C-alpha cells in the first residue's frame, strides 16, 4: 500500500502543478492585458506591468483554489481510469474510501500551504505604504521606512508613522501653517479610525495652537474629527485591502472593529471564507473522486474535466453570491462563509457513497 500511496500522490501532485501553472499563466496574462490598457511609454513600463501582475498572482490563485483542486484531482483520477489502473486497484481489494483518503492528502496539504501563504507571503507582496511612492501621490507625498508617510495639501502636512494591521494609522502628526509660513497648529494623535466617507476619527489627541510663534494653548482630547484632505485614490492606496492582510492581522482588525461597535461584516466575511478553504478543498476532492469512480465506458475524459470545471466555477459563483446576499441581508457571517463549503462537502460525500 505504501508504494501505491506514493504513486497516487505523485500523480496528484503532478496534476496540481500543471493545473496551477496553467491557471496562473492565464490569470497573469489577463492582468497584463488589463495593465496594458493604460498604454506604455517605454520598455520599463512593460516590466512594471508584468511585475505588478505577478504580485497579485498568489492571491488570485488562492481565490481559485477549489477550482484547481477539483480539476487536478479529476484529471489525475480520470487518467488512471482511462488506463484501467483505478479498476485494477479496486479489483485488488483497495476500497474507494482508501483511495479517497490518499487523494485528500495533497488536497489538504495544498489548502494548508494556501493558508500559510495568506499569513506570510501575500501581505509581503502587497505592502500598503510602499504603494504610495512615486506617481501614486504625485509630488505631494513621500514615504520613508524611518519617518513614515508624509503628505501635503496646501498649508497642511500629514505625517503617519505606521499602519498597524495594514489599515490603522498610528503615530499621527498634523501640521497647519499660516500664509506667512509660521506654524499655526499641531495636532498629535496616537491612532485614527478611518470612516467609510474618508474622514478620520483621531484618538488620544493633543492639540497645540501657536500664535505669533508662541504656544498659546494646549488641549487634550479623547477623540477628534478631522476632515481628511486625502483623495479617494490616495486613501485607497494608503489602506491595505482586507484581502491583503495576514490572517492574524485580519482577525485582530475585526475584533477591534467589534470593540468599537463599528461595521465589521465585510472584513469578517473575508476572514471566514479564507478559513473555509480546507473544507472547500475537501468537498472538491470528494466530488472529483465520486466522478472518477464511475466507469468511463463511452464517455470521454474531456467531458469529465468539463464537469469538474463546471462544479468548481459553480461553487465559486455560489460562494460569491451567498456572501453578497449575506452582507446585504445581514445574515450570520460564519454561517454564510462556511455554508457553501459545508453543503459541498456533504453533497460530495453523498455522491461518493452512492458511487461506491
Enter the pTM of the model.
Answer: 0.78
pLDDT interval class at 209 (50, 70, 90): confident
CA–CA dist 187, 172 (Å, integer): 8
Average pLDDT of the chain? 84
Predicted confidence at residue 297, as pLDDT, reads 53
Residue with the bigger pLDDT between 199 and 304: it is: 199
Mean pLDDT over residues 83-96, rounded? 85
Residue 133: band (very low, low, confident or very high) from pLDDT cuts 50, 70, 90: very low
Q: DSSP 3-state assignment of 218?
A: strand
117 Cβ contact partners less than 8 Å away, ≥ 6 residues apart: 58, 62
Domain residue spans of the chain: 2-126+268-355, 129-240
CB 149 within 8 A of CB 230: no
Q: What is the dihedral of CA 195, 198, 204, 209, to 10 degrees?
A: -150
DSSP state of 332: -
- Which residue did the predictor score with more confidence, 131 or 104? 104
Q: What is the pLDDT of residue 299?
A: 52
CB count in 10 Å sphere of residue 295: 10
Question: Residues 135-170, buried b or exposed e (16+ Cβ, 10 A)?
Answer: eebeebbbbeeeebbbbeeeebbbbbeebebbbbbb
Q: What pLDDT, in 10s, does the model give residues 240-286?
A: 677 677 899 889 888 887 887 778 898 899 999 999 999 999 999 99
Average pLDDT over residues 85-91: 85
Sheet holding 214-226, edge to edge: 141-144, 148-153, 156-164, 168-177, 183-194, 200-211, 214-226
- Tell me whether residue 118 is exposed, middle or buried, using C-beta atoms within 10 angstroms of its C-beta: 0 to 12, 13 to 18, 19 or more: buried
**Fold annotation for 129-240:** lipopolysaccharide transport protein A fold (2.60.450)
Pairing, β 183-194 against β 214-226? unpaired
Extract the C-alpha cell encoding 30.
489577463
Confidence category of residue 353, pLDDT binned at 50, 70, 90: confident
Sorting pLDDT into bands at 50, 70 and 90, what band is 349? very high
Cα(314)–Cα(106) distance, integer angstroms: 22
Distance in Å from the first CA to the final CA of the chain? 20
Residue 232 near residue 198, CB atoms below 8 Å: yes
List the grid coordinates of 281.
478543498
For residues 244 and 167, what is the distance between their CA atoms, to the nearest angstrom? Answer: 10
What average pLDDT does the segment 201-207 reach? Answer: 93
How many Å apart are CA 310 and CA 70, to the nearest integer?
Answer: 10
35 Cβ partners below 8 Å, 6+ apart? Answer: 49, 52, 53
Amino acid at each position: 500500500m505504501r508504494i501505491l500511496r506514493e504513486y497516487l500522490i505523485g500523480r496528484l501532485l503532478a496534476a496540481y502543478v500543471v493545473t496551477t501553472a496553467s491557471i496562473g499563466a492565464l490569470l497573469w496574462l489577463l492582468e497584463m492585458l488589463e495593465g496594458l490598457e493604460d498604454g506604455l511609454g517605454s520598455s520599463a513600463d512593460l516590466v512594471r506591468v508584468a511585475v505588478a501582475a505577478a504580485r497579485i498572482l498568489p492571491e488570485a490563485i488562492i481565490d481559485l483554489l477549489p477550482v484547481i483542486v477539483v480539476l487536478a484531482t479529476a484529471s489525475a483520477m480520470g487518467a488512471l481510469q482511462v488506463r484501467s489502473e483505478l479498476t485494477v486497484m479496486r479489483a485488488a481489494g483497495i476500497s474507494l474510501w482508501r483511495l479517497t483518503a490518499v487523494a485528500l492528502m495533497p488536497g489538504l496539504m495544498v489548502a494548508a500551504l494556501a493558508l500559510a501563504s495568506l499569513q506570510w507571503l501575500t501581505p509581503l507582496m502587497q505592502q500598503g505604504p510602499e504603494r504610495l511612492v512615486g506617481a501614486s501621490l504625485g509630488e505631494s507625498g513621500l514615504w520613508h521606512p524611518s519617518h513614515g508617510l508624509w503628505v501635503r495639501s496646501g498649508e497642511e502636512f500629514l505625517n503617519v508613522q505606521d499602519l498597524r494591521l495594514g489599515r490603522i494609522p498610528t503615530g499621527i502628526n498634523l501640521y497647519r501653517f499660516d500664509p506667512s509660513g509660521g506654524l499655526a497648529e499641531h495636532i498629535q494623535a496616537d491612532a485614527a479610525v478611518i470612516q467609510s466617507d474618508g474622514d478620520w476619527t483621531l484618538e488620544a489627541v493633543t492639540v497645540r495652537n501657536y500664535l505669533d510663534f508662541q504656544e498659546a494653548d494646549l488641549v487634550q482630547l479623547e477623540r477628534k474629527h478631522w476632515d481628511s484632505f486625502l483623495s479617494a485614490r490616495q486613501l485607497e492606496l494608503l489602506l491595505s485591502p482586507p484581502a491583503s492582510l495576514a490572517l492574524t492581522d485580519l482577525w485582530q482588525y475585526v475584533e477591534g472593529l467589534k470593540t468599537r461597535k463599528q461595521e465589521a461584516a465585510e472584513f469578517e466575511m473575508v476572514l471566514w471564507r479564507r478559513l473555509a478553504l480546507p473544507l472547500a478543498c475537501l468537498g472538491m476532492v470528494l466530488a472529483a473522486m465520486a466522478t472518477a469512480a464511475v466507469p468511463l465506458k463511452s464517455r470521454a475524459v474531456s467531458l469529465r474535466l468539463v464537469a469538474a470545471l463546471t462544479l468548481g466555477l459553480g461553487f465559486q459563483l455560489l460562494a460569491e453570491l451567498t456572501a453578497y446576499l449575506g452582507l446585504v441581508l445581514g445574515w450570520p457571517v460564519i454561517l454564510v462563509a462556511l455554508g457553501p463549503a459545508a453543503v459541498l462537502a456533504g453533497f460530495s460525500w453523498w455522491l461518493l457513497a452512492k458511487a461506491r
